[in-house]
Chains A and B, each alone.
Chain A
Amino acid sequence: MLDGLASLGQAYLALLMSPTSIALGMAGALTGILVGCLPGLSATLCIALLTTLTVKMNAHDAILILVCSYVGTLYGGSRSAILLNIPGTAANAASCADGHALALRGEAGRAIGIATSGAFCGTLFGVVCLAAFTPLLARVALSFGAQEFFWLALFGVTMSGTLVGDDPLKGWLMGAFGLFVSQIGQEGIYAYDRFTFDIPALSGGISLIPALIGAFGFAEVLTRLADPVERKLVEMKDSIRPRFDEVARYWRTVVRSGAIGVLTGLMPGVGEDSGAWMSYAAAKATTKEPELFGKGSIDGLMSAETGDMSSIPGHMIPMLALGVPGSAPSAVLMAAIIIHGIQPGPMLMVEHPMFAYQMVAMTTLATISILIFGLFLVRPLLLVLRVKHSVLMPIIFLMSVVGAYATAWRLFDVYAMLAIGIGAFFLRRKGYPMAPFVLGIVLGNLLDKSLRRGLVLTDGSLLPFFARPICIFFATITIFTMLLYIPAFNAAVHRVIGAITGSFKSLIAWRG
């Protein structure tokens, strides 16, 4: 405990003593905010492009820029949600209704102030949890074997497929497809080429960064440019100062949403938007003014922004401690961390004991940066929202090509990005979510190696996959989640829950 606090203090001190690092972190946060302001450009794309830009920098500075841009992008997304009624990133979608309603009432500045203070408090809440829980989870994860990692990977893809998007079936299909894509190329145990069709470039597999740039960058360029409608920006007339008085008034909402955000962040593959939507739903369920939700509720806007921002450090916890990312942006962040020679997972606290604490310090700097930029750069940032799609999107595509190429200097990666982007464009139109696909690509290797290693260790027996305590936990949730899709099973579960709730209520009534 004391060692942890000392390491944390050391990480903060090291960051404070380096003006260059602070400047780079703030530049990363500002870049993130600018990207976040632009509707359609996601945190995933921002981190993927910055990964290629920073690939030659030293590991600490590069990761600092990426972490700060991650936080900045999700914060910046609230601007377009409030002023354009289009969320800059998916995580800001819950802020649209109330934020834009406030803006239409002439209170755009107030809405931005609330979003800024909610984002600041939410991220700070998450940072405390990141510092407290990462070492604990990493210690637990040291007892994980191949069987546990098999279930963890499967659990991540299944949960992502279930919770992201509207149709779990399509989510699971995309998860399985992502897992398949990760199997292309040389496998990690016997160096055997799978599904390469004698094409040498395929032996290296489909790299994550080009795949992500295709799915989130090129597909978005095609979507935006196929639809030429430009949205009208709401003018901002009132003051933009952060509303910490309103944070004090709605402290219950902030604490509740912060906790929900971190908890959803802990679930692999769920995404920041779930943190925002669940916090929003919880706030609506507990407020005294539910009729105001969707019509400019302060409670609603505060809960959505706090929930999505606190889920960022939440997603970093399983990414660092287990090597299983909580969302698509954290998946790219994990890939970038690996590129820089640090392997997230149970051994992280052993091999790089300071790294988790450095991440805490980096996220804190990002939090302070968004507050500073939220305070002083509001009106200049709004200029970004006025850039036309027809100008912006070709430049985004240009950077996507560079981003796909620059990690491995292979034109093949550019072609892979194009193919995945075109595929993602059509799949998205048909309601297929991309997050499970990304998680599938990230976790495919872990799933494959864990399955085969686990079977080798048990001489082909499947029993340990279902008998070890942690396996039982993950297997139960994974199988239960999928069975819920069967109407008869779902109805039976609801009947049982209804009966238990009824008995509980009658018991309370009897005691009362």
Chain B
Amino acid sequence: MQPSIDNPGSAVPAHPAGGLVTPRSDFFAALAWIAFGFAVSIGAWRMDRLENQDVPPYAVPGLLPFFLGVAIMFFAGLMLARSWRRGALAAGAPRATRMTPAERKRFLLVLGLCLAFSVLLVGHGLPFWLAATVFVSATIIVLQYQQRRAVNQVWRGVVISIVIGLCAGFGVTVVFQKIFLVYLP
């Protein structure tokens, strides 16, 4: 897999793409894209044509979105046909590799922490430095817990994580808010 601009650091991908992308997964993704493209086209078609403002039909706001919906359906249709030809629906067609239970647990944990910080803690009255300190410390503690427990250094890890969290919280607040005068949530 040639690494691409959007996938930095992917010369040695964490997950082999062959396992994650199969004709079967492409087939179902194509169906979802077709549904999405259809919804976009319908939304664009039903959009106000501003006839009361004497807007000509070739300058209506929904013109490009309509064609984009059609284009998405067209490309998704090609992907659907391609994956079907590659045996997406054949008996025994390989299914895409899913996350291992450990990966899924870690992913959900990280996602939960990130969402808790950005949706619940930020912008609801708590000082930013405090919210940032809590988030960074908690995330490091959680992510390093297994390793720390293996070497019997859980409390040492907690202290180090809190110190890093405080440095990050204060550091980001001072640099953004005090030095560069950027307003923080």
- 8 A Cβ contacts from A152-200 to B: 164-166, 169-170, 172-173, 176-177, 179-180, 183, 187, 189-190, 192, 194-195
Contact of A169 among B75, B113, B136 (CB under 8 A): B75
Nearest chain A CB to B161's CB is how many angstroms away? 8
Contact B4 A433 (CB under 8 A): yes
- What is the 8 Å Cβ interface bit string for chain B, positions 129-145, against chain A (1 contact, 0 not)? 00010011001100110
* Cβ contacts A to B, 25 pairs, < 8 Å: A85-B11, A90-B10, A166-B2, A183-B65, A189-B59, A190-B61, A194-B65, A221-B114, A222-B114, A225-B106, A228-B106, A271-B4, A271-B5, A394-B168, A395-B136, A398-B117, A402-B176, A402-B185, A406-B182, A411-B123, A414-B185, A418-B118, A435-B6, A437-B6, A452-B63
Contact A227 B182 (CB under 8 A): no
In this assembly, does A341 line the interface, its C-beta being within 8 Å of a C-beta of chain B? no
Alpha-carbon distance A292/B113, docked complex (angstroms): 47
Contact of B115 among A44, A53, A418 (CB under 8 A): A418
Q: A226-B103, A229-B14 are in contact. Are A390 and B144 (CB under 8 A)?
A: yes
Measured CB to CB, the nearest residue on chain A to B78 is A169
Chain B residues, CB < 8 A from A77: 8
Alpha-carbon distance A176/B113, docked complex (angstroms): 32
Contact B6 A428 (CB under 8 A): yes
- 8 A Cβ contacts from A87-114 to B: 87-91, 93, 96
B-binding residues in A (CB < 8 A)? 39-42, 44, 52-57, 77, 80-81, 85-91, 93, 96, 164-166, 169-170, 172-173, 176-177, 179-180, 183, 187, 189-190, 192, 194-195, 215-216, 218, 220-223, 225-229, 271-273, 277, 327-328, 388, 390-391, 393-395, 397-399, 401-402, 405-406, 409, 411, 414-415, 418, 422, 424, 428-431, 433-435, 437-438, 447-448, 451-452, 455-456, 460, 485
Contact B132 A398 (CB under 8 A): yes
Contact of A56 among B8, B9, B123, B180 (CB under 8 A): B180
A-binding residues in B (CB < 8 A)? 1-12, 14-15, 17, 20-21, 25-26, 29, 33, 40, 43, 47-48, 50, 53, 55-59, 61-65, 68-69, 71-72, 75-76, 78-79, 82, 96, 99, 103, 106-107, 110-111, 113-115, 117-119, 122-123, 132, 135-136, 139-140, 143-144, 164, 168-169, 172, 175-176, 180-185
Q: A56-B182, A226-B110 are in contact. Are A430 and B164 (CB under 8 A)?
A: no
Nearest chain B CB to A90's CB is how many angstroms away? 5
Contact B183 A406 (CB under 8 A): yes
Alpha-carbon distance A190/B60, docked complex (angstroms): 9
Q: Which 6 A-B pairs have the closest CB atoms?
A: A434-B6, A271-B5, A227-B14, A390-B143, A93-B3, A394-B139
Chain B residues, CB < 8 A from A414: 118, 122-123, 185
